[in-house]
Structure 1
Amino acid sequence: MKNVTLLVLCMAAAIATSAQFTVKGKISGADSLHLVFLSEDGQTRDTVQLFDEGEFSFTTKHKPGKDDMFALLLEGLPAPMLFLAEQPLVEVEGEKQHFPVAAVQAGQQTQWMQEYHLAYQSVIQKAMKLNMEAAGIEGDDEAGKEAFRQKAQAFEKEVLMTGLTFIKDHPKAHASLFLLMNELKSRLTEEQFIELFKGLDPGVKNSRLGKSVAAQVAAMEQSTKASGEAIEFEQKDPQGKLVKLSSFRGKYVLIDFWASWCGPCRMENPNVVAAYHQFKDKNFTILGVSLDKSRGDWLEAIEQDGLVWTQVSDLKGWGNEAAQLYGVRGIPQNFLIDPKGKVIATNLRGKALEQKLAAILQ
């Protein structure tokens, strides 16, 4: 019998303690299973047990809200199984090799979550394969880099189209909101993100997560009404020299938020490198801002990916002060600044970055 930690990490602010909620089932082949419930404090609240043959059962002492989200995580697998606390019992049966897709007896919202898992299963597998390919490309292998760049572009298009199709077909699903925030936000312009959010069902937008996203949308809309002036910040480069955004005034500059541990960022980097070399002699440059915590990992990724432009970081991870100023909640994310210091575009990726730069610089 194996111990399994139940991490209670909830999207809600507080939880009543008057009723119970049970999750039980069997995941064949599972060695370690975690049940995660997102909370503001992120502290461990309970411990459950994983029995022989992957059977498990947990009854919480807490009463979650009907739109609170749980996740089952298997050790060594990147994608969680998501479900909502719509009813007091959720039953799960599946196999580790197919996780997070499994047979689930639960409410409609959780069934939609399973449709989301099924839609993205092949995408997740392709992402893992691309990450492995990227790690195997030598620094001087230009042909390998170009082949990888083309695969990465095709992958990004597939992720986007899969997500857009799901959201269009499931406007009442909380899974659509989760998908919008976790898979698509960094791949969309602010205008596209706002339009998709507003197209969701009122029941989704009025959920706890929905209200949080609505506040972000309101902030986005307010910022577009403002002057669009880029916010000043300064951070240290790898040599310890402080670099100010304003030092690039007079040039078009792309503020590129990324991190060494971010798979989508590393897959996008070949596109950014190509754009830099195509337009660097036309009054254009890039300022990379890393959300790393490890200096070693940051510097290694810079060298591996050929990021020869100015790089800065305060090594605070998601607490990066520049990222906080720009409201960055997902990466990769970028902001294109004109020579006068105005923000003229956001989230330009793949061909969109090349096309935008060509339009203004050629």
Structure 2
Amino acid sequence: MKHLKHTFLVGILTILGLAANAQFNIHGTITGADGKMIYLFDDEDNYADDSVFIKNNQFNFTIKKPNKERVYALILGENQYPMLLIPGSDPALTFTATEAEFPIAQSLTTNEQTQAMQTYQKLFRPLVNRALNLNIEAARIDSADESGKEAFREKARVFSQDVASTGKAFIKQHPKAIASVWMLLNELRNRLEPDDFMATFYSLDKSVQDSRYGQMAKNYIAQLQGNALNVTAPDFTQDDVKGKPVKLSQFRGKYVLVDFWASWCGPCRQENPNVVKAYEKYKNKNFTILGVSLDQDKNRWIGAIRQDGLNWTQVSDLQGWNNEVARQYGINSIPANFLVSPDGKIIARNLRGAQLEKALESLIK
């Protein structure tokens, strides 16, 4: 994967391709920047899409408008901090700024998404300055000065907490802004615990969750869920064999084995007798199973349930490998399962054969 070099603070963004249609005009007036070069980047690669010398403190770029929200960056000369913008339904962006304050604009006429991005940049400007000062301070600490290094670690810890709290406050106030998910990916990803990252992401509006940047966050969450323990299992809803919606959260208070399988999966069918044995032994001891099938044929799915004696709740959207829950949890092979505690935490993964009974025996007294 490639990365946009010039992110706002410390983050980097995974990229996708560009799809375009109508044109979008970017016109800027930057006082004090006459004769300097300004560059336009998209998030596809590390190369400028366009560049121009500023004349009479003004410049103009025209781009093909992408079909979906996409972040662009304006880089002024050697200034490593870009102005971030998002072309929208409006035909143009017009702003005024000074060279000294760039990328913060004095005035900005544009869509709400770019306005929110500018608000984010203004909010983080003091943190950028603090980061620069911390870098200078770190370079001056003698390698043998243990007390100095410890004091600096504390400053860095407080700084990281301030970035996280500032970012989360912005996201809470701007749930419909692409800037929020951009911030989450670039500024907060390495500063939040997995549960906190997921909760913050799922607090965003669905339109942002479903954006190209939201998909990047979902991919990151799937990676977390594919490996992490003691993280909250995100809730989901899927229909059972009778078409009735079933939620994972409705089993809260019990140990729940979420079991991914399919009628066509030989190893799954071979493992089912072990799962049935564990279910029969512990079903009356605060334990149940929620089966998630990656089937596409409903009759085969129901037939396998009956044939294998899977007498617990079964759900599926009959989308095969595109099953929404399987994608949500990053499932790329089956059989697969995870054990959820009564308080909703994933406490074990991929328990096979006697491992499942052994785990339940240690948990259920």
- In structure 2, what is the Cα distance between the partners aligned to 1:220 and 1:143? 35
Q: Deviation digits for residues 220-246 of structure 1, max 9, x if unmatched?
A: 2243479xxxxxxxxxxxxxxxxxxxx
CA contact (8 A) 1:10 1:69 kept: no
After superposition, the CA RMSD in angstroms is 2.6
Aligned CA distance change for structure 1 residues 158 and 58 (closer, same or farther; 3 Å): same
User: Among 54, 75, 80, which residue is 1:51 paired with?
Assistant: 54
After TM superposition, the structure 1 = structure 2 runs for residues 54-133 of structure 1, keeping only pairs within 5 Å, are: 54-60=57-63, 62-86=64-88, 87-102=90-105, 103-133=107-137
CA positional deviation for 1:44: 4.7
- 2:181 aligned with 1:177: yes
Aligned CA distance change for structure 1 residues 63 and 10 (closer, same or farther; 3 Å): farther
Which residue is 1:352 aligned to?
none
User: Among 16, 38, 56, which residue is 1:33 paired with?
Assistant: 38
CA positional deviation for 1:151: 2.0
Aligned CA distance change for structure 1 residues 99 and 180 (closer, same or farther; 3 Å): same
Which residue is 1:350 aligned to?
none
- In structure 1, what is the Cα distance between the partners aligned to 2:85 and 2:223? 29
Aligned CA distance change for structure 1 residues 144 and 220 (closer, same or farther; 3 Å): closer
- In structure 1, what is the Cα distance between the partners aligned to 2:202 and 2:30? 37
CA positional deviation for 1:134: 1.1
- In structure 1, what is the Cα distance between the partners aligned to 2:223 and 2:203? 18
- In structure 2, what is the Cα distance between the partners aligned to 1:94 and 1:208? 30
SS of residue in 1 equivalent to 2:61:
strand
Which letter does structure 1 place at the counterpart of 2:76? Answer: L
Which letter does structure 2 place at the counterpart of 1:57? Answer: N
CA contact (8 A) 1:29 1:53 kept: no
- In structure 1, what is the Cα distance between the partners aligned to 2:180 and 2:188? 10
Q: Deviation digits for residues 109-134 of structure 1, max 9, x if unmatched?
A: 11111110111010000101111111
Could you state the TM-score of these two structures normalised by the residue count of structure 1? 0.55
Which letter does structure 1 place at the counterpart of 2:225? Answer: E
CA positional deviation for 1:192: 1.3
CA positional deviation for 1:207: 1.0
SS of residue in 1 equivalent to 2:66:
coil
Which letter does structure 1 place at the counterpart of 2:58? Answer: E
- 2:55 aligned with 1:24: no
SS of residue in 2 equivalent to 1:52:
coil
Aligned CA distance change for structure 1 residues 10 and 140 (closer, same or farther; 3 Å): closer
Q: Deviation digits for residues 153-173 of structure 1, max 9, x if unmatched?
A: 221121111111111111111
Which letter does structure 2 place at the counterpart of 1:20? Answer: Q
State percent identity of aligned pairs.
37
Which residue is 1:231 aligned to?
none
- In structure 2, what is the Cα distance between the partners aligned to 1:138 and 1:10? 36
Structure number with greater Rg is: 2
SS of residue in 2 equivalent to 1:186:
coil
After TM superposition, the structure 1 = structure 2 runs for residues 156-235 of structure 1, keeping only pairs within 5 Å, are: 156-224=160-228
SS of residue in 1 equivalent to 2:69:
coil
Aligned CA distance change for structure 1 residues 129 and 19 (closer, same or farther; 3 Å): same
CA contact (8 A) 2:37 2:51 kept: no
CA contact (8 A) 1:48 1:57 kept: no
- In structure 2, what is the Cα distance between the partners aligned to 1:225 and 1:150? 28
CA contact (8 A) 1:28 1:94 kept: yes
Which residue is 1:247 aligned to?
none
Which letter does structure 2 place at the counterpart of 1:170? Answer: H
SS of residue in 1 equivalent to 2:144:
coil
Q: Deviation digits for residues 295-326 of structure 1, max 9, x if unmatched?
A: xxxxxxxxxxxxxxxxxxxxxxxxxxxxxxxx
- In structure 2, what is the Cα distance between the partners aligned to 1:43 and 1:78? 14
Which letter does structure 2 place at the counterpart of 1:96? Answer: E
CA positional deviation for 1:178: 0.5
Matched positions, count: 217
CA contact (8 A) 2:85 2:114 kept: yes
5+ unaligned residues in a row in structure 1: which ranges? 1-8, 227-326, 328-343, 345-362
Which letter does structure 1 place at the counterpart of 2:80? Answer: P
Which letter does structure 2 place at the counterpart of 1:76? Answer: E
CA positional deviation for 1:11: 4.0
- In structure 2, what is the Cα distance between the partners aligned to 1:26 and 1:214? 38
CA contact (8 A) 1:28 1:54 kept: yes
